[in-house]
Amino acid sequence: MTMNKDSKIYVAGHRGLVGSAIVRCLRDNGYTNLILKTSQEVDLRRQQAVEDFFAAERPEYVFLAAAKVGGINANNTYRAEFLYDNLMIESNIIHSAYLSGVEKLLFLGSSCIYPKHCPQPMQEEHLLTGFLEPTNEPYAIAKIAGLKLCENYCRQYGVNFISAMPTNLYGLNDNFDLANSHVLPALLRKTHEAKINNAEAVEIWGTGSPLREFLYVDDLADALVFLMNHYDDIQFVNVGTGEEVSIKDLAMLIKAVVGYEGELKFDSSKPDGTPRKLLDTSKINAAGWQPKISLKKGLELTYQWFVENYERIKGK
């Protein structure tokens, strides 16, 4: 089942990091009939509002990229909100998609669904084989519920609802808030501000030794459009690069991209987090998809966008 260029396609969360990349990808590929609504227009946490929206618009395809998201601090601070908001958003959209006869839905998860001490690289079969990372357990539980909703709506109702689990993402429209952002955008902003303020050093939490995998968000969008057109399995699928980089090497690369001349100081008294988080991407690779944008190129594109939008970002 493939989307036509004039198919009615609803992108939930179209202003976020992932949703905006999906919109760019769809438009670049000639899809013209996109349904885009802000949270002010449709509160996705409210069942009646979502059911009314689906009844009126009747989308044929749905990319479910709407979610409440944040870094470790945000996840740990707003635990009830991360669980409640995400459960409501996904439940309402998935159920309304079923009620209104949507052709196909793609739900977006997160690699934090895997156990804290998961074997590496993490395979789809490792889900629910161990305890979750406590700091983001509420978010992870909501995401697990979403993919299980898709799986079991397929089993009970025969719908075509699929799920994708991306690795760490970065790119245009990322969250650069130093208190609530993920490691890459936080490092990029700190390094840029050290450069413009002529600071002698940038301080980085931990030893710099943990290994992480990063996927440029436009590569993810390309993968999601590919999956919507070519993947119909009930089993969710990992999306990543299959490559990892240490936080120290990432910081060095960001330093080079930004053009910062100062020092990088690693504070080993601060926590490192999980030593390694790498997805096994053999399933999506076997289906015919590969990432195209290198980490260096992705960082350059992200930094260019960040600089162009810095005054707005700084004012938030």
Question: Where do the structural domains in the chain lie, given as residue ranges?
Answer: 9-172+214-241+278-293
Annotated binding-site residues for NADP(+) read 13-19, 108-111, 143, 166-169, 182
**Cα four-point dihedral sign 131, 134, 135, 137:** positive
Annotated binding-site residues read 13-19, 108-111, 143, 166-169, 182, 190, 205, 212, 272
Nearest by Cα to 147 from 158, 162, 132: 162
| CATH number for region 9-172+214-241+278-293 | 3.40.50.720
Would the pTM of this model clear 0.85, i.e. be above it? yes
Which pair of tokens denotes residue 87?
């459960």
pLDDT single digits (tens) 280-313: 999 999 999 999 999 999 999 999 999 999 999 9
CA dihedral 167, 273, 295, 21 (to 10 degrees): 40
Catalytic, out of 31, 61, 139, 153: 139
Q: Which amino acid is at 223?
A: A
Annotated binding-site residues for substrate read 190, 205, 212, 272
Beta strand pairing status for 104-108 and 61-64?
A: parallel
pLDDT single digits (tens) 157-200: 999 999 999 999 999 999 898 877 788 999 999 999 999 999 99
Q: Clarify whether 139 is annotated catalytic.
A: yes
Contacts of 38 (CB under 8 A, 6+ apart): 15
pLDDT single digits (tens) 93-144: 999 999 999 999 999 999 889 999 999 999 999 999 999 988 889 999 999 9
Return the bridge partners of 122, or none: 279
